[in-house]
Amino acid sequence: MSVPTFSPDMKEDQLDDFMSKARAASTLLKALSHETRLLILCILSRGEKTVGEIEAILGLQQAVVSQQLARLRAEHLVRTRREGRMIFYRIGDPALNELVSVLYKMYCEPDEKTPVANEVHEGA
């Protein structure tokens, strides 16, 4: 992927396009900037879940999970499916799964080179 070249002679429609895309990316990143919402998206990246299942995994109250899911719904990041009285949540855009996967690899996936936080380091 190449990085666009910005210059004073850039066409106005190109700059407008970049600005629009930057605004969309900023909105997405703001939605992801809350740790509970990010955790919920990580959970949903593995498949759809109910509020109760998400509560149980995170150990949070239903009101907290519902509030964060509402924000994710408002940002069109999650979708729902109703089955009787149960509502199932899933990630709404496959590209978001890719982003969550990259974030997981960067921050959550065990790295053999990185010592575990609880290990005692020699000379410490």
Q: What is the CATH number of the domain that holds 55?
A: 1.10.10.10
Q: Identify the residue with better confidence: 24 or 90.
A: 90
Condensed to tens digits (0 to 9), the pLDDT of residues 32-82 reads: 899 999 999 999 988 999 999 999 999 999 999 999 999 999 999 999 999
Whether 76 is in a domain gets the answer: yes
The CA-to-CA distance between both ends of the chain, in Å, stands at 42
Q: What pLDDT, on the 0 to 100 scale, is given for residue 18? A: 84
Whether 65 is in a domain gets the answer: yes
Whether 17 is in a domain gets the answer: no
CB contact at 8 A, 109 and 101 = no
CA dist 1 to 4, 21, 62, 93, Å?
A: 9, 16, 41, 21
Whether 22 is in a domain gets the answer: no
Could you tell me the pLDDT band of residue 123, with boundaries at 50, 70 and 90?
A: very low
Whether 47 is in a domain gets the answer: yes
Model-level pTM?
Answer: 0.75
Q: Which domain, by its residues, includes 88? A: 35-100
State the average pLDDT over residues 9-27.
85
- Residue 96: count of CB within 10 angstroms of its CB: 20
Query: Which residue is listed with tokens 């066409």?
Result: 11
Q: Identify the residue with better confidence: 18 or 41.
A: 41
CA distance 77 to 93: 7
Whether 9 is in a domain gets the answer: no
**Average pLDDT across the chain, whole number:** 85
Lowest mean pLDDT among 8-17, 55-64, 113-122: 113-122
- Is the pLDDT confidence value at 20 over 50? yes
CA dist 93 to 35, 63, 86, 116, Å?
A: 20, 25, 22, 33
Whether 82 is in a domain gets the answer: yes
Whether 4 is in a domain gets the answer: no
Count of structural domains within the chain: 1
